[in-house]
Amino acid sequence: MVRHILAISGGGFSEEENAYIDEYLLKICRKNTPIKIGFVATASNDAPNYIENFYRAFQSERPSHLTIEDFKSDKIQDIVNDLDIIYVGGGNTQYMLKIWKETGFAHVLIDAYYRGVILAGISAGAMCWFGTCYSEKNEHEYEQFAGLGILKGSFCPHYNDEERRIAFDYWASSQKGGPIYKLNDNENLHFKNEKLVAKISSYK
């Protein structure tokens, strides 16, 4: 079973000028029929406008979304396994992972991945797949916490932001476990079977 993860630093349907990466994601799926793509907006606390934008962007496919309440369903594993792609939105990474682990949704995602469901996500939705995360604790502080560990190392989105870059570089200088990926907002990584196979950039 071929496994794919697309880690998006910035762009996608939330930024029209960088929406090219969504086209790349759909091509990974290699289906002639409409693609079943499910959106998870936990990191934004299921923000309605974010979910609406997702449906608008993928209206030619078979879009759906999963809320925090949906994670409690007895059928959640079957629902996720039936999708072609899971697309995780940005927001508060720590909050998202806390909810996933408390509800068991973290295990649902990992199981689906090893069954061939493509995982994709932007910002928080990209960091979460890695072993270690380093992100905002509050407005001015950052801290380290565990990701899902599907991919080794750590991922820093929005590296072009000066405050984030300084904080992340200071933290990364003391890290020894696995690769560290630093990406600007127009850069994205494609992993196949947990190996990096492509870096996709726009000319922004």
- Residues with catalytic roles: 123, 158
Measured CA to CA, the distance from residue 93 to residue 109 in angstroms comes to 15
Region of residue 93 (left: phi > 0; alpha: psi -120 to 50; beta: else): alpha
DSSP per-residue codes, 75-106 = THHHHHHT-SEEEE--S-HHHHHHHHHHHTHH
- 22-38 burial: b if 16+ Cβ within 10 Å, else e: beebbebeeeeeebbbb
Measuring CA to CA, how many Å separate 42 from each of 71, 88, 102, 169, 197? 10, 8, 13, 27, 28
Q: Pairing relation of β-strands 4-8 and 187-192?
A: antiparallel
Instruction: Return the number of other C-beta atoms located less than 10 Å from residue 66's C-beta.
Output: 22
Q: Which has the closest alpha carbon to 25: 8, 10, 9?
A: 8
